[in-house]
Amino acid sequence: MKRFLVKRITYSVLSLFLLSAIIFFFVRVTGDPAVLLVEPGASQADIDAIREQLGLNRSLGVQYVTFMSDLLRGDFGKSFYYRSPVLDLYLSRLPNSFLLAGVAMLFSLVVGIPSGILAAVRLNGWWDRVGKIFALLGQSLPSFWVGLLLILFFSVHLGWLPSSGSGTIWHVLMPAVALGWVFAAYNMRLTRSSMLEVLGSEYVKLARLKGLPEALVIAKHAFKNALIPVLTLAGINLVIMVNVAIVVETVFAWPGVGRLAYEGIAFRDFPVVQATVVLGGAMIVVVNLLVDILYAVIDPRIRYER
């Protein structure tokens, strides 16, 4: 087990190191942020002064060494645009992202699991067909478009919900639906296939042969076992939601890390982009690591195989 842990942790650290190096060099390929911070026609002296202020006049090697040594100390640098520590900015937005992701996750489970069960139980029936259409739409309608439709209908037309911003539970509903929509479709599909697998298993057949009522077979024997992969994925999806909500947060002016990433990209704010990518990557790597360790604890075959 100890060897397994050392190996997995080493892989995780290596992944994060590679991620940080890739994002450091990739953002610098995208262009010079100094030219975006001045008006076209600004003098070369002004552009040079901004480069100096931002430390971009130093060689790439020096910038990289500084970036890595700061990173090891947990210092992500100062935002070019906001001129404040990036970590402070990130941490101030993170609770909003978790709130949004949490509500979106709840929505995706509440919608995805029952519809998946119904589709599996009523295989090839009306519910199954509706479920398939829902899954297709969920995975094909872009979240920004869903978001704009929600705003038009619930804010502008009906006047029920605030169109943007944060502060109350009403503010989080529409962005959570726009974000959770695609995950609800994934959950529906996963629940359906998992239920179908469980419903075809020997112990379910035995339960039916014993004469247990169908509702009890589904609720007690099939549902509980079918839920395991859905809930395992839900944990990982929560972290993914925190990090992929860029478009939804931008449409709803939701102050999360996704919008921070959008601002970082728009303004070539290198420290912000680096921090959002590295910290987002760290979240995913850590969650995957924990899942791997838990699997290894539960199933000893895994730690010996790897």
Partner 1 sequence: MRGPRLFATVAVALLLAAAPVAAAPEGQLTWAVHVSLAPTWFDPAETPGVITPFMLIYALHDALVKPMPGNGMAPSLAESWTASRDGLAYQFALRKGVTFHNGDPVTAEDVKFSFERYKGAGSATLKARVAGVDVLDAGRVRFRLKQPWPDFMTFYGTPATGAAWIVPKKYVEKVGDDGFKKAPVGAGPYRFVSFKPGVELVLEAHEAYWRKTPGVKRLVFKAVPDESTRLAMLKRGEADIAYSIRGALAGELRKTPGLTLKPSLPTFTEWVTFADQWDPKSPWHDRRVRLAANLAIDRQAINDADYLGFGKVSANIVPRDFAFYWPAPAYPHDPAKARTLLAEAGYPKGFDAGDISSDNVYVPEAIANYLQAVGIRVKLRPLERAAFYAADQEKRLRGLVRQGSAAAGNAATRIEAFVLSTGIRAYGGYPDIDGLFREQATEVDPKRREATLHRIQQLMHERVMFMPVVEPAFLNGVGPRVADSGIGAITGHPYSSPYEDLSLKAR
Contact residues toward partner 1 (CB under 8 A) are 30-33, 35-47, 49-50, 53, 81-84, 89, 92, 148, 151-152, 155-156, 159, 162-166, 250-253, 255, 259-260, 262-263, 267-268
* 267 touches 36 (CB < 8 A): yes
Nearer of residues 81 and 181 to partner 1, judged by Cβ: 81
Q: How open is the CA angle 232-235-236, to the nearest 5 degrees? A: 95
265: its two tokens: 């990209």
Helix (H) or strand (E) holding 8: helix 2-29
Q: Name the residue nearer to partner 1 (CB basis): 47 or 293.
A: 47
Q: At what angle do helices 257-266 and 86-121 cross, to 10 degrees?
A: 120
**C-beta closer to partner 1: residue 19 or 246:** 246
For partner 1, the closer CB: 148 or 212: 148
**Distance from C-alpha of 70 to C-alpha of 86, rounded to nearest angstrom:** 12
As measured in angstroms, the least distance from the Cβ of 219 to partner 1 is 43
Min CB(81)–partner 1 separation in Å: 5
The residue to which tokens 């009906």 are assigned = 158
| Least distance between partner 1 and beta carbon 289 (Å) | 31
CB of 262 to partner 1, least distance (A): 7
Q: Which is nearer to partner 1, 131 or 255 (CB)?
A: 255
- Check: CB of residue 188 under 8 Å from CB of residue 109: no
CB 165, min distance to partner 1, A = 6
In contact, 288 and 11? CB cutoff 8 Å = no
Of the candidates 230, 244, 238, 232, the one whose C-alpha atom is nearest the C-alpha of residue 187 is: 230
Residue 243: CB minimum distance to partner 1, A: 17
User: Please, which residue, 36 or 302, has the CB nearer to partner 1?
Assistant: 36
How many residues make up the chain in this entry?
306
Q: Residue 10 or residue 84: which is nearer to partner 1 going by CB?
A: 84
- Alpha-carbon span 124 to 252, nearest angstrom: 38
C-beta of residue 172 within 8 angstroms of C-beta of residue 103: yes
User: In the bound complex, what is the minimum distance in angstroms from residue 282's beta carbon to partner 1?
Assistant: 22
Nearest-10 crossing angle of helices 126-140, 169-199: 130
